[in-house]
């Protein structure tokens, strides 16, 4: 058994960790069944080689009896700023024998306020840069061209170690000696800037040289002072008036000396080729403004003027705690067509988020090329009405070089198609590529099955995730919105966490959610809070409870739960205070209900009260986990009373739920708000509704996440599969049949009968309706955990054949190691494969008509190594398994669901 995948603060080998007691984690792998960790020991040193020398260790945890390698807090000496720490974990197996070890490192950032000596710099108000006249295309605001900032400095020696710590009010790209530093896009990301601004740490050791060096940066408006959301706040701005940079380059030399270069009055500034850039509007580049060598030493500085030092204090800076946005993949053009107008339309075959890279050959100086982006075509032309005021237009004015490459840096678009106007020559597919950018989370999950349409659905879900995990979890990436909507995030989180390791990303965003809470305990609909300053709606604000609980259950992150607890409790108390009769009818904010439901209206107070009960239940459980027993008791009692009130008011003696919509039943059943004796009746009413509609759903954002899981839980997997395979409107299949490559915001984004929905709100890349992904992993393939399990310690593997599938398989890299489950049916036998990581156990339900037929290889399964028990069960047979890899066969289930 060996540890692998070592992480510090949920990232591998992070630079610039801001935590004083960072948490260390590892996963385990073994070929042996029943392998488990019984103890671990962590040792740490400042040099990797010193890990082997007991006298040079700075921390030795000693042997600690523990089955877990999850988020163990640093317990060594106080950490120094800007220091690399190496650590090793050694584990003992279940017999107490020493097993493997592995090592890793992390490096601290600037841990103390005093570590910062840099000053904020920006444009001198007296500088009055040239402003280009706006073009006819209504382009990005041209009134304040991005900053090109530079400074030179001398080095006598090359450093043995150099780090750049930097951030911006705006979005920035750092440069050293003519090269881009790092590969982060849209740094410093988006947080509640009034509370926290993230800085990035870059290893620039190899970029420096003896003699003259130049440090530089480009800074554009970004979220700080560009267009954000949908209220036309610019030029009022959400955060500040103008972009600025803060940077500190720390160099260490072989003799132990240090040299520090910071942003200060010695820097100079002059606009460069990027004439305007805005996240929503686009980027305007005029290559003729490029100052050759502007970011290198020795550049004639004549046009550069002194910067203004904006203020001396660095502000509320925090180290970036999660994976930043990067260009993660590229999509080639699949088709380039030239229209009669002479314009080219490029199809990337996939709705993506990011920007293009266009190579131009032999373009004449001054040629003005205009690129517009769209998700859809209408009559062969770009459909841009649904972008609302986001122009999503980039302009490139050529400089006359033999080869020029245009790649916007400070904007992003959601698009499948790009139209190129005024291209000077023949555009070939090889000269344009879509650069896909999103938070670079480890992609940890995979789901596949025998049905191509379901695989396309899974693909659409993952592309929805890629497109909307850009700085914050957004609702959509294309129109003038792109906000961190809370309901979207909570509905989709369980699916997102299947596909990728979202632990650090969502924990970081949770701070924004908590920061957005008001003194009365109300969260906001969005985080960071822009535009929507009113109290959150039911199911929206509840994200403030649901997500920390989700992160605890999925990753064992107790800290996010502890840090969020007061806010979680305050939310529930806020609702209670204003709704003493326990029906949530007051203070429901914008009360969106079951947003974008089809043909029905779920009663708002049913939905709200169900969420009130659900959140209260989760906060009670959180209190228990955190050892706050008084809170737990109080909240449990409150939950019981809300449940009674719900049943009293909305659940009728015949098992109908008020309003009778699918979502009303789903909420009541999923959140345990139906008395046991009426559950079967309620399920019957739900099923009848689906059947009477010929297996169509009516659920919106809120209900859809519960649809298939509740049906499966209550023995109606047949209906869940019928909905999964449905291709008539409304269904997932309908959008796929019409070419969807992402999840649409609305079931009727485009229909045969009505064409496009209103452009006022019609995104083709919104992940909420993709929340069915959790069920694909959890029930179709079968990976789940028991209700009391944390971070997949006790797996609940329940593969559910059904519909027209003949096999399905999922694999997930969990916090403990690899979990997999899958099944296939052939020749009247079902084969189930399962992987249980060391230290975990599994309850595996084999769907079979004959519990006695369960075998591993040729032998009955009972008594096989790792098989702790076999029992007949309602589903067929239930096995209890120790860790290991298993391939089990049995007689196929009678009727496949």
Measured CA to CA, the distance from residue 113 to residue 316 in angstroms comes to 9
Nearest residue (CB) to ligand RAM, 26 versus 492: 492
In 374-502, which ranges are continuous DSSP H helix?
452-468, 486-499
CB-CB contact of 855 with 889 (8 Å): yes
Shortest distance, position 488 Cβ to ligand RAM, whole Å: 5
Q: CB of residue 348 vs ligand RAM: minimum separation in angstroms?
A: 23
DSSP, res 757: P
Where does 556-603 have alpha helices with state H? 558-578
Nearer to ligand RAM, 148 or 595 (CB): 595
Q: Which two tokens stand for residue 873?
A: 């069960």
Contact 286, 141 (CB under 8 A): no
In a 13 Å sphere around the CA of 21, the CA atoms on its Cβ side amount to: 8
Residue number with CB closer to ligand RAM (540 or 729):
540
Q: Considering beta carbons, is residue 118 or 491 the nearer one to ligand RAM? A: 491
Q: What residue number has its CB nearest to ligand RAM?
A: 475
C-alpha–C-alpha distance, residues 118 and 728, integer Å: 60
To which H or E segment does residue 26 belong?
A: strand 23-29
Compute the distance between CA of residue 107 and CA of residue 115 in angstroms, rounded to an integer. 15
Q: What is the DSSP pairing of strand 432-439 with strand 344-361?
A: antiparallel
Nearest distance in Å: CB 731, ligand RAM: 20
Across 84-122, b (16+ Cβ under 10 Å) vs e yields ebbbbbbbbbbeeeebebbbbbbbbbbbeeebbebbbbb
- 417 vs 595 by CB, closer to ligand RAM: 595
Q: Which is nearer to ligand RAM, 223 or 592 (CB)?
A: 592
Q: What is the distance between the alpha carbons of residues 272 and 270, in angstroms, rounded to a whole number?
A: 6
Q: 364: which 2 tokens?
A: 């004449």
676/97 Cα distance (integer angstroms): 48
Q: Report which of 622, 615, 620 is spatially closest to residue 646, judged by C-alpha positions.
A: 615
Distance of alpha carbon 320 from alpha carbon 439, whole angstroms: 12
Q: Which sequence positions are flagged as catalytic?
A: 481, 745
Q: CB 596 → ligand RAM: shortest distance, Å?
A: 8
Q: Measured from the CB of residue 590, what is the shortest distance to ligand RAM in angstroms?
A: 7
Question: What minimum distance in Å lies between the beta carbon of 242 and ligand RAM?
Answer: 29
Task: Find all residues with CB under 8 Å of 693, minimum gap 6, and list them.
Answer: none
Task: Supply the minimum distance, in Å, between the C-beta of residue 279 and ligand RAM.
Answer: 16
* Dist. CA 243–CA 640, nearest whole Å: 52
| φ, ψ at 536 (rounded to 5°) | -70, 155
Partnered with residue 772 across adjacent β-strands are none
The distance of closest approach from Cβ of residue 753 to ligand RAM in the complex, given in angstroms and rounded to an integer, is 24
CB-based contacts of 275, cutoff 8 Å, min separation 6 = 132, 142, 145, 284, 285, 286, 289
Dihedral sign (CA 500, 412, 240, 179): positive
Give the DSSP H or E segment for 201.
strand 197-203
**Whole-angstrom Cα Rg for the chain:** 28
In the structure encoding, which two tokens stand for residue 217, read together? 């940066």
Tokens standing for 689?
A: 């509704």
CB-wise, 85 or 701, nearer to ligand RAM?
701
Helix (H) or strand (E) holding 39: strand 37-45
What's the closest the beta carbon of residue 592 comes to ligand RAM, in angstroms?
5
Count Cβ atoms below 10 Å from residue 152 Cβ, excluding itself.
Answer: 18
Answer positive or negative: Cα dihedral of 290, 291, 293, 295: negative
Q: How far is the CB of 448 from ligand RAM (least distance, A)?
A: 29
Partnered with residue 40 across adjacent β-strands are 64, 91
Q: Which two tokens stand for residue 633?
A: 């008791």
Residue 26 or 747 having the CB closest to ligand RAM = 747
Minimum CB distance to ligand RAM, residue 756 (Å): 16
Smallest separation, CB 489 to ligand RAM (Å): 9
890 vs 829: CA distance, rounded Å: 6
Name the nearest CA neighbour of 415 among 734, 758, 741, 739: 741
Q: How far apart are CA 165 and CA 112, in angstroms?
A: 13
Q: Which is nearer to ligand RAM, 545 or 780 (CB)?
A: 545
**Closer of 388 and 737 to ligand RAM (Cβ):** 388
Distance CA 834, CA 828 (A): 20
DSSP string, 388-415: TT---EEEEE----SEEEE---S--EEE
User: Toward ligand RAM, which CB reaches closer, 278 or 488?
Assistant: 488
CA angle 575, 578, 583 (to 5 degrees): 70
In the complex, the residues that contact ligand RAM under the rule CB under 6 A are 475-476, 481, 485, 487-488, 592, 595, 766
Q: At closest approach, how far in Å is the CB of 524 from ligand RAM?
A: 12
Closer CB to ligand RAM, 594 or 784, in the complex: 594
């Amino acid at each position: 058994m060996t540890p692998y995948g070592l992480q510090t603060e949920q990232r591998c080998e992070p630079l610039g960790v801001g935590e004083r007691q960072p948490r260390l984690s590892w996963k385990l792998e073994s070929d042996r069944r029943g392998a488990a960790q019984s103890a671990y020991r962590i040792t740490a040193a400042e040099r990797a080689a010193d890990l082997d020398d007991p006298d040079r260790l700075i921390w030795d945890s000693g042997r600690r009896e523990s089955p877990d390698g999850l988020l163990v807090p640093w317990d060594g000496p106080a950490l120094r700023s800007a220091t690399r720490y190496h650590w090793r974990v050694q584990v003992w197996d279940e017999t107490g024998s020493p097993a493997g070890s592995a090592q890793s490192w992390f490096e601290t950032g600037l841990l103390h306020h005093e570590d910062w000596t840099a000053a904020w710099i920006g444009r001198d108000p007296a500088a009055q840069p040239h402003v280009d006249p706006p073009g006819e295309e209504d382009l990005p605001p041209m009134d304040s061209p991005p900053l090109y900032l530079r400074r030179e400095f001398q080095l006598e020696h090359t450093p043995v170690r150099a780090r750049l710590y930097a951030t911006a009010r705006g979005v920035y790209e750092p440069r050293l000696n003519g090269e881009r530093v790092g590969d982060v896009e849209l740094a410093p990301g988006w947080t509640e800037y009034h509370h926290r601004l993230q800085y990035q740490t870059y290893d620039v050791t190899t970029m420096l040289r003896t003699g003259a060096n130049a440090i530089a940066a480009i800074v554009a408006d970004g979220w700080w002072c560009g267009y954000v959301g949908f209220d036309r706040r610019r030029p009022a701005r959400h955060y500040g008036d103008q972009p600025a940079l803060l940077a500190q380059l720390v160099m260490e030399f072989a003799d132990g000396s240090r040299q520090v270069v910071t942003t200060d009055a010695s820097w100079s500034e002059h606009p460069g080729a990027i004439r305007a850039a805005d996240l929503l509007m686009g980027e305007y580049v005029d290559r003729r403004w490029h100052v050759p060598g502007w970011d290198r030493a020795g550049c004639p500085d004549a046009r550069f003027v002194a910067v203004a030092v904006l203020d001396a204090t660095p502000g509320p800076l925090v180290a970036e705690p999660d994976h930043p946005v990067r260009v993660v993949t590229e999509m080639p053009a699949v088709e380039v067509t030239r229209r009669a107008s002479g314009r080219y339309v490029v199809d990337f075959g996939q709705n993506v988020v990011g920007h293009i890279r266009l190579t131009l050959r032999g373009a004449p100086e001054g040629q003005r090329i205009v690129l517009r982006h769209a998700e859809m075509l209408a009559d062969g032309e770009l459909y841009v009405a649904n972008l609302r005021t986001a122009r999503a237009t980039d302009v490139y004015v050529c400089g006359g070089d033999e080869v020029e490459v245009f790649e916007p840096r400070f904007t992003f678009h959601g698009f499948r198609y790009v139209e190129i106007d005024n291209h000077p020559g023949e555009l070939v597919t090889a000269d344009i590529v879509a650069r896909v950018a999103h938070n670079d989370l480890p992609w940890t999950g995979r789901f596949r099955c025998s049905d191509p349409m379901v695989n396309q659905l899974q693909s659409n879900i993952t592309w929805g995730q890629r497109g909307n995990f850009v700085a914050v979890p957004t609702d959509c990436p294309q129109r003038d919105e792109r906000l961190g909507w809370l309901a979207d995030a909570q509905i989709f989180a369980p699916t997102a966490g299947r596909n990728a390791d979202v632990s650090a990303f969502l924990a970081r965003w949770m701070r924004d959610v908590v920061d957005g809470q008001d003194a009365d305990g109300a969260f906001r609909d969005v985080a960071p809070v822009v535009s929507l300053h009113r109290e959150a709606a039911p199911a929206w604000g509840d994200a403030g409870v649901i997500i920390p609980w989700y992160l605890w259950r999925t990753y064992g992150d107790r800290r996010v739960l502890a840090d969020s607890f007061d806010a979680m409790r305050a939310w529930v108390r806020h609702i209670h205070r204003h709704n003493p009769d326990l029906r949530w009818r007051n203070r429901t904010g914008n009360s969106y209900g079951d947003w974008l439901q089809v043909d029905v209206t779920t009663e708002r107070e049913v939905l709200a009260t169900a969420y009130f009960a659900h959140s209260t239940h989760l906060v009670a459980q959180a209190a228990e986990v955190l050892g706050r027993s008084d809170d737990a008791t109080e909240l449990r009692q409150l939950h019981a009373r809300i449940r009674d009130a719900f049943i009293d008011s909305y659940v009728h003696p015949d098992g109908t739920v008020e309003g009778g919509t699918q979502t009303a039943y789903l909420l009541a059943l999923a959140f345990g708000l139906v008395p046991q004796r009426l559950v079967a009746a309620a399920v019957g009413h739900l099923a009848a509704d689906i059947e009477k509609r010929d297996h169509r759903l009516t659920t919106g954002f809120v209900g859809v996440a519960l649809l298939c899981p509740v049906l499966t839980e209550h023995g109606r997997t047949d209906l869940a599969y019928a909905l999964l395979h449905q291709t008539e409107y409304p269904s997932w299949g309908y959008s796929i049949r019409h070419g969807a490559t992402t999840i649409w915001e609305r079931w009727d984004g485009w229909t045969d009968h009505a064409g496009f929905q209103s452009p006022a709100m019609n995104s083709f890349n919104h992940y909420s309706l993709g929340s069915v992904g959790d069920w694909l992993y959890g029930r179709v393939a079968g990976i789940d955990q028991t209700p009391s399990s944390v971070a997949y310690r006790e797996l609940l593997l329940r593969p559910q054949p059904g519909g027209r599938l003949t096999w399905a398989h999922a694999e997930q890299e969990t916090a403990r190691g690899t979990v997999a489950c899958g099944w296939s049916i052939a020749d009247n036998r079902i084969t189930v494969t399962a992987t249980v990581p060391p230290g975990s156990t599994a309850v595996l339900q084999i769907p079979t008509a004959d519990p006695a037929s369960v075998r591993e290889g040729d032998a009955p399964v009972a008594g096989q190594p790792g098989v702790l028990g076999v029992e007949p069960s309602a589903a067929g047979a239930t096995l209890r398994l120790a860790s290991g890899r298993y391939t089990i066969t049995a007689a196929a289930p009678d009727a496949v669901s």
